[in-house]
Structure 1
Amino acid sequence: MTEAFLEHVNFTVSDPAKTAQHLHDWFGWNIRWQGPSIYDGVTYHVGGSNSYVALYSPGTPNKGAESSYQTRGGMNHIAVVVDDLDATEQKIKESGYQTGNHADYEPGRRFYFRDENNIEFEVVSYT
């Protein structure tokens, strides 16, 4: 029996093309597919050969104000493993984002940041 694996997660964002470009610049991910979707929206699938992040924007977005950490079923953060934590952090900072909550722990190192959609990312390296 093959082990189950996570294929994708889906986020609602303000500008899927812009977010897709950031994910390409920061993590080297590519657009696997893009096209129209539910509620007159558009979706981009961005990632590698086995998994991706779906970036969805409805035709008329709704501004969410609730905290995912306080909402049952809310997405708290997405963690991305990279080889070179320092180089990745530099790319993110050069894009205008602040990083924080740095930690060295066994077996790796990490930091967090939020993008313009208020999605929290954890970036971690085990090398």
Structure 2
Amino acid sequence: MSRLEHTNVTVPDPDASAAMLADLFGWHVRWSGDAISGGYSVHVGSDDSYVALYRGPESPRSGGSSYATLGGLNHIGIVVDDLDATEARVRARGYEPHSHADYEPGRRFYFREENGIEIEVVAYDE
């Protein structure tokens, strides 16, 4: 059995991004501190998995579409118990949910946060 432990994303303000993810998804900061190449990272998530938010010594630059970039991060998928309550929190933070869909075996929507990272939020039928 294998599982995904974490993903690592470059952002300009790891603390702010971690606070947003913790607020929306009930996560906590697992660790923060010095990182590779003189950078700084914050690990935010659950006890079992997390998103590593990295800021290097230089300001990050945005590029073109992730879907047209080799190795691009297209979105981060997060499973929640209550899709409607999570969407209300997403809207309250000023994000615009889009691409709502019901599909087998659940429901989902997406939103793009201030760093341009798209997040898919999904709830599975039980």
Residue 112 of structure 1 aligns with which residue? 110
The amino acid that maps onto 1:81 is V
Query: Which structure 2 residues correspond to residues 22-61 of structure 1 after superposition, within 5 A?
Result: 22-61=20-59
Larger deviation, residues 59-68 vs 42-51: 59-68
Larger mean CA deviation between 111-120 and 61-70 belongs to 61-70
Counterpart-to-counterpart distance in 1, 2:3 and 2:124? 20
Q: Compute the displacement of 1:62 (Å).
A: 2.8
1:53 alignment partner, SS class: strand
For residue 5 of structure 1, give the secondary structure of its aligned residue in structure 2: coil
Residues of 1 paired with 2:39 and 2:114: CA distance? 19
SS at match of 1:69: helix
Following TM superposition, the consecutive aligned residue runs of length 4 or more in structure 1 with deviations greater than 2 angstroms are: none
Letter in 1 for 2:113: D
- Which amino acid in structure 2 is aligned with residue 47 of structure 1? G
Tell me the C-alpha RMSD between the 2 structures. Answer: 1.0
1:80 equivalent in alignment to 2:78: yes
Matched-pair contact (CA < 8 Å) for 2:96–2:111: yes
TM-score in terms of structure 2 length: 0.95
Letter in 2 for 1:72: L
Size of the aligned set, in residue pairs, is 125
Query: 1:62, 1:14 → 2: CA distance?
Result: 6
Counterpart residue number, 2:68: 70
State the TM-score, normalizing by the size of structure 1.
0.94
Gaps of 5+ in 1: none
Unpaired runs of at least 5, structure 2? none
SS in 1 for 2:67: coil
**CA distance in 1: counterparts of 2:60 and 2:81, whole angstroms:** 36
2:73 counterpart letter in structure 1: M
| Distance apart, 1:59 and its partner CA | 2.1
